Amino acid sequence: MRLEQVDGLKKRYRQLYDALSLTGEFVKHGEYHCQLLLKGMPVKVSTVPTLKSNCASQLNVRPTADGKFVITYDDSDCIEDEENFINVQLRLDGKRLSHKFSLAEAGAGNADQRLSLVPEGKVMLTAAMVDAAAREVTDITVRLTINNRNGSKFAVKSLELNVPDLAVPLIFDNADAVYSTKGLIQIKMLAKGDCSLRKVKKGDFAFVNGTLTVVNPNTGAIEPIKVALQYSTNWE
């Protein structure tokens, strides 16, 4: 092969690499499909891109038979008012392609399907019976305030709370209630049975922590909401 032919091939390869780009779109909340393009046409490569994010966790990417890259992530730790993103990087023979997408776009045109639920205020725990001598309480009712920021419809399935002065976690799984009011909502649930009290010293800022499990009826997805709030009880 003549030298000018080799130089010509190298030039063509460089031009092809310059014509490569990455694009993508949200399929649903938590899932994004990315595609490599050559001159605007989809192409398939064996190399898998790497992912980085300023807030999202559980980043995962898998190739499909048609050349797309399915990206899944968990944005439960992302702060809504900040610029949250995932950066996709693909290296091909030394050339680095980059595609950055905003997680805020996951709700664009589909905002009514995305949940924005924030536990607020103080968790109120009330026992139907308190046996101080036996250090035991019975049938505990919880009142939890949720701020439904965008007024999306959601169903409460269960709530699990770790309370410092209770020997075992509280599990409320008798909810199955549906809410759609925008703003503050008070959720009330009952945990039947006896619970033993632990001897702990409550500070001025005692907290319960746990998980509120809800269902998004628009997508069918089960979503965990972290709870970490101050609390009060009707027992010592």
Q: What is the pLDDT of residues 83-124, one digit of tens each?
A: 889 999 998 877 888 889 888 777 544 444 568 888 888 888
**223: CB partners within 8 A, 6+ apart:** 76, 115, 213, 214, 215, 216
Higher pLDDT, 218 or 174: 218
Q: How far is CA 194 from CA 17, 126, 191, in A?
A: 68, 13, 9
- Report the Cα–Cα distance between both ends of the chain, in Å, rounded: 90
In this structure, the answer to whether residues 215 and 144 fall within a common structural domain is: yes
Q: Which pLDDT score, from 0 to 100, does residue 89 have? A: 92
Spatial distance between the Cα atoms of 233 and 40, rounded to a whole number of angstroms: 62
Burial annotation 113-124 (CB, 10 A radius, 16+ → b, else e): bbbebebeeebb
Residue after which a domain boundary falls, among 108, 123, 143: 108
Higher pLDDT, 111 or 75: 75
How many independent structural domains does the chain possess? Answer: 2
In this structure, the answer to whether residues 104 and 185 fall within a common structural domain is: no
Residue after which a domain boundary falls, among 73, 108, 143: 108
Question: 35, 23 in Cβ contact below 8 A?
Answer: yes
Task: Give me the domain span that covers residue 197.
Answer: 113-233
Q: Name the DSSP letter for residue 112.
A: G
Phi, psi of 105 (to 5 degrees): -70, -10
pLDDT over 60 at 1, yes or no = no
The total number of residues written for the chain in this structure:
236
In this structure, the answer to whether residues 60 and 165 fall within a common structural domain is: no
One-letter amino acid for residue 213 of the chain:
T
In this structure, the answer to whether residues 147 and 95 fall within a common structural domain is: no
In this structure, the answer to whether residues 177 and 228 fall within a common structural domain is: yes
In this structure, the answer to whether residues 104 and 133 fall within a common structural domain is: no
Higher pLDDT, 133 or 33: 33
Q: Which pLDDT score, from 0 to 100, does residue 87 have? A: 93
pLDDT over 90 at 25, yes or no = no
CATH code, 80? 2.60.40.10
pLDDT over 60 at 23, yes or no = yes
Q: Which pLDDT score, from 0 to 100, does residue 108 have? A: 44
In this structure, the answer to whether residues 148 and 213 fall within a common structural domain is: yes
Q: Which pLDDT score, from 0 to 100, does residue 202 have? A: 62
Q: Which pLDDT score, from 0 to 100, does residue 134 have? A: 86
Is residue 176 very low, low, confident or very high in pLDDT (cuts 50, 70, 90)? low
Residue range 67-84: mean pLDDT, rounded: 85
In this structure, the answer to whether residues 117 and 214 fall within a common structural domain is: yes
Residue after which a domain boundary falls, among 64, 93, 108: 108
Spatial distance between the Cα atoms of 26 and 114, rounded to a whole number of angstroms: 13
pLDDT over 60 at 165, yes or no = yes
Spatial distance between the Cα atoms of 31 and 81, rounded to a whole number of angstroms: 20
Is residue 73 very low, low, confident or very high in pLDDT (cuts 50, 70, 90)? very high
Residue range 214-229: mean pLDDT, rounded: 85
Q: Is 171 helix (H, G, I), strand (E, B) or coil?
A: strand
pLDDT over 60 at 146, yes or no = yes
CATH code, 216? 2.60.40
Is residue 28 very low, low, confident or very high in pLDDT (cuts 50, 70, 90)? confident
pTM of this structure:
0.53
| Mean pLDDT across the chain | 82
In this structure, the answer to whether residues 145 and 87 fall within a common structural domain is: no
In this structure, the answer to whether residues 102 and 118 fall within a common structural domain is: no
Report the candidate in 150, 162, 47, 56 with the shortest Cα–Cα distance to residue 107: 150
In this structure, the answer to whether residues 157 and 216 fall within a common structural domain is: yes
In this structure, the answer to whether residues 104 and 122 fall within a common structural domain is: no
